[in-house]
Structure 1
Amino acid sequence: MQIGELANTAGVTTKTIRYYESIGVLDEPARTASGYRSYGPSAIERLDFVKQAQSSGLALAEIKSILEIKDEGGQTCQHTTRLLGRHLEELDAKIIELQAARVELRAMYERAGALDPADCTDANRCQIITDSLPTG
């Protein structure tokens, strides 16, 4: 199949396919006599894998590392588990940051309901965001 058909089948753009080829995530395809790219069914499988891996939070460089191990005939389970574990740790840290930000935003929101807009006279700050005057 040619690049347009592959793109439609895999749900990506032709630009994405060319980019994946340029960075080694997708193998360079065979060419027809007239120079058109010619892809086999394995290209669809690889693109499906890339999309699934991206949806799990893996970056293209990480996906490429998995594919390189596979291309060399290796087993990727331990490598993939380490990558996913690192992403879980990062996600857990981000959740903690977001929960703290939510607490702060909730406090600002509640403070906003208790303030009189007429009291907001400082030209350099909003009383909702800053709950007290700066010191010093």
Structure 2
Amino acid sequence: MVLDTLRSLLADLREREPADVSSENTTEAGHESYYADRVEYGVNDRDLPEDDRVLRLLVERGGRVERSTIVGETGWSEERLEACLDRMEREGQVSAIDVGGRRVVCRRGFEPKGYRPHLTSD
């Protein structure tokens, strides 16, 4: 899962010398790379847990994805996606909201400006 990968990355960083750490966190253009950009992109999507598949789609598409896109990309039923999103919302990983009549899934922190989760909870 993502947390296990993050723990192993942090453990590796602690073992290295500071010069090694700073060189890994920059790309050739000198930009910082982020954890989300380095997450197991060599792994087949079908081998990932459901949560990680949704998070990968969100990272690849800038933090927001319509539910219909997730269903199309994963081949899941609406019921399966709903169960996955409910679990991810409870864990604080995503927000599933209505934006202009469309059902949109957002990574936490990528919600539209002015979004207030405490006003939309059931």
Question: By the TM > 0.5 criterion, same fold?
Answer: no
The two structures have a TM-score, normalised by structure 2, of 0.24
Greater share of helix:
1
| Higher-RCO chain (CA-CA 8 Å, sequence separation at least 6) | 2
The two structures have a TM-score, normalised by structure 1, of 0.22
Larger-gyration structure (1/2): 1
